[in-house]
Amino acid sequence: MTSLSPSPSGELGEPWDALVLAGGHSQRLGGQDKASAVVGGLRLLDRVLAAAGAAERIVIVGPPRPARPGSRSVRWTREDPPGGGPVAAIAAGLRLVEAPLVAVLAVDLPFIGAAELADLLGSLRGEPPGHRDADVAVLADPAGRPQYLAAAWGTAALRAALPADPTGRSVRSLLAGRDVRTVPATADACLDCDDPASLAAARARAVPGTHGSGTMP
């Protein structure tokens, strides 16, 4: 796994899709719907969708939720069986992905923004156009801890990495034998709200109505 400093522009010459893992009710959050939890006046789902606004297509894996007024269209799907884990969800969502690059995102990342996604996607660029300098790029916090569900993949590489039976498999297992790059990011961009303490911390930091790692007071 090699580390890569973010490119200044993050510009891409090829399209990308976003695949958002939105799950259902979280036992670690007392059974509430994680995607509908509100941080800074917005649902976690809406914050991630705003970050991925430049995607050609957004695929969400999980129970459909009401759309926010004025939001763009998305495609919903479910893993089979429901509750089969994140790799099963990725496998289900990937069936609807068409672009050559795909951002794979957990729904519980309140402060990831378009800049971080541009850095991830830009780190996969190669020459000539369409060539990949890596199979996958993942965000890493200042301590070097990777966030596997804040990642950009070459779509073909992700399809090849999926096991025949994805049920119960870890996302980290997909990286075995792959050319992986880590992209440094802030601790906030890598923060996931997977328990009451982290959700409370995100709410304490968030500016109402904003999203992305640059919106902290």
DSSP state at residue 91: H
Query: How many CA atoms lie less than 13 Å away from 61 in the CB half-sphere?
Result: 28
How far apart are the C-alpha atoms of 1 and 124, rounded to whole Å?
Answer: 14
157 falls within a domain: yes
The pLDDT score that the predictor gives to residue 9 is 33
Structure tokens at 4: 């890569």
Tens-digit pLDDT string for the chain (217 aa): 544 333 333 345 689 999 999 986 666 666 688 999 999 999 999 999 999 999 999 999 999 999 888 888 999 999 988 889 999 999 999 999 999 999 999 999 999 999 999 999 999 976 556 667 799 999 999 999 999 999 999 999 999 999 999 999 999 999 999 999 999 999 999 999 988 899 999 999 987 655 555 443 3
If one counts the domains in the chain, the total is 1
For residue 214, being part of any structural domain is answered with: no
Query: Would you say residue 215 lies in a domain?
Result: no
What is the reported pLDDT for 216?
36
Residue numbers of the domain that contains 146: 2-205
pTM: 0.87
Domain-embedded: residue 213: no
Strands 101-106 and 146-154: antiparallel
CA–CA separation, 152 and 122 (whole Å): 9
Residue 217 domain-assigned (yes or no): no
Residue entry with tokens 């129970």: 63
Considering the domain boundaries, does residue 80 fall inside one? yes
CATH code for position 86: 3.90.550.10
Pairing label, strands 146-154, 136-140: antiparallel
82 burial type by CB count under 10 A (0-12 exposed, 13-18 middle, 19+ buried): middle
Q: What are phi and psi of 198, to 5 degrees?
A: -70, -35
Closest CA to 106 of 196, 22, 193: 22
DSSP secondary structure letter of residue 217: -
The terminus-to-terminus CA distance of the chain in angstroms comes to 33
* Core vs surface per residue 17-45: b (16+ CB within 10 A) or e: bbbbbbbeebeebeeebbbebebbebbbb
Residue-by-residue DSSP string for 148-161:
EEEEEEEHHHHHHH
Kind plus residue range of the DSSP H or E element containing 111 = none
DSSP state of 22: -
User: Does the residue 75 lie in any domain?
Assistant: yes
Look at residue 23 in the predicted model and tell me its pLDDT.
84
